[in-house]
Amino acid sequence: MASKLISIGKASKLLGVSIDTLRRWDKTHRLPPVRNGSKGHRYYRQIDVDIFLRDIVALAKQWVSAETGITPELDVYCQTRDVFQARLEKLQSNLQRATLSSATSLLSAIAGEIGNNSFDHNLGNWPDITGIYFSYDLDNRVIVLADRGQGILATLKRVRSTLTNDTEALRVAFTEILSGRLPEARGNGLKFVRDVVVENPFTLDFETGTAHLLLKENDKKINITPSDKHVRGCFAIIRFGNLI
């Protein structure tokens, strides 16, 4: 029965997080339990846990902002670029059945740029978990990519030492052609992502450290606000709601 109650221990196992994390999520209203019994123990409705497990954005955000890195489930984990390439081609094939061919091509291209950017900038320097988290839910028209790499500030600071915070670094990454791998001629990947998003009915949430960029169709300016949670490396959500 979908509405049955389960213990905090069972919910913790199903969600793959600690009981302390569930207590924290209770305080922040991220996943509220039901208080039951005279001592007010936490119980969880099975349906709430099921919905949370299907919420790929919440799961990826949890992974990328956790203090300790944990290897993700195999179905969302691309440890190497080859695995990412194969899964990107699978996404492309699934998108072809669900959306316009131009959207398939562009969504695959921007997901490919963001994912490969993570590998390009962290090769040999991953702080804990090697590779990226990549998942998508075509029913909800969302693609999620995350890495627990060094983040944009650390990458760009090597070539522009005057950068002092995540907001400045994120702005530079999306507006200037500046390569974190000088003297190689690079640095246009996220500008390409920006151009594609603002010219199409897509939205992009991109977070690094404490900065959060939200970009949507026809945006002329870059809008960066503080992130609700510290992101270890980079976290991107691509939505494409209006196409299907």
Partner 1 sequence: MIIDVSKFGTTLVSRPSGKEAWLAFQPTLNNVQENEEVTVDFSNVAVLTPSWADEFLTPLRSRFPGKVRLTNTDNASIKATLNTLAKQ
* Cα end-to-end span (Å), the chain: 33
Residue 28: CA count within 13 A, CB half-sphere: 9
3-class DSSP state of 49: helix
Q: Do residues 143 and 237 touch, judged by C-beta distance below 8 A?
A: yes
Return the CA Rg of the chain.
19
- Binding part of the chain for partner 1, among 24-32, 113-121, 141-149, 212-220 by CB under 8 A, reads 113-121
Spatial strand order of the sheet with 34-36 comes to 5-7, 41-45, 34-36
Alpha carbon separation from 139 to 50, 116, 144, 198, 215 (Å, rounded): 16, 25, 14, 23, 22
- Of 161-190, which residues contact partner 1 (CB under 8 A)? 177, 185-186, 188-189
Residue from 22, 25, 113, 232 touching partner 1 (CB under 8 A): that is 113
Alpha carbon separation from 64 to 105, 122, 126 (Å, rounded): 27, 15, 13
Query: Does residue number 195 form part of the binding site for partner 1 (CB under 8 A)?
Result: yes
Query: Does residue number 106 form part of the binding site for partner 1 (CB under 8 A)?
Result: yes
Query: Does residue number 191 form part of the binding site for partner 1 (CB under 8 A)?
Result: yes
Query: Does residue number 196 form part of the binding site for partner 1 (CB under 8 A)?
Result: yes
Least CB distance to partner 1 at residue 151 (A) = 19
Least CB distance to partner 1 at residue 162 (A) = 23
Residue from 15, 33, 56, 120 touching partner 1 (CB under 8 A): that is 120
User: Residue 74 is which amino acid?
Assistant: L
Query: Does residue number 85 form part of the binding site for partner 1 (CB under 8 A)?
Result: yes
Least CB distance to partner 1 at residue 204 (A) = 14
Least CB distance to partner 1 at residue 106 (A) = 5
Query: Does residue number 159 form part of the binding site for partner 1 (CB under 8 A)?
Result: no
For residues 72 and 66, give the distance between their C-alpha atoms in angstroms, rounded to a whole number: 12
3-class DSSP state of 25: helix
Query: Does residue number 126 form part of the binding site for partner 1 (CB under 8 A)?
Result: no
- Site for partner 1, rule CB under 8 A: 81, 85, 88-89, 92, 101-106, 108-109, 112-113, 116-117, 119-120, 177, 185-186, 188-189, 191-192, 195-196, 199
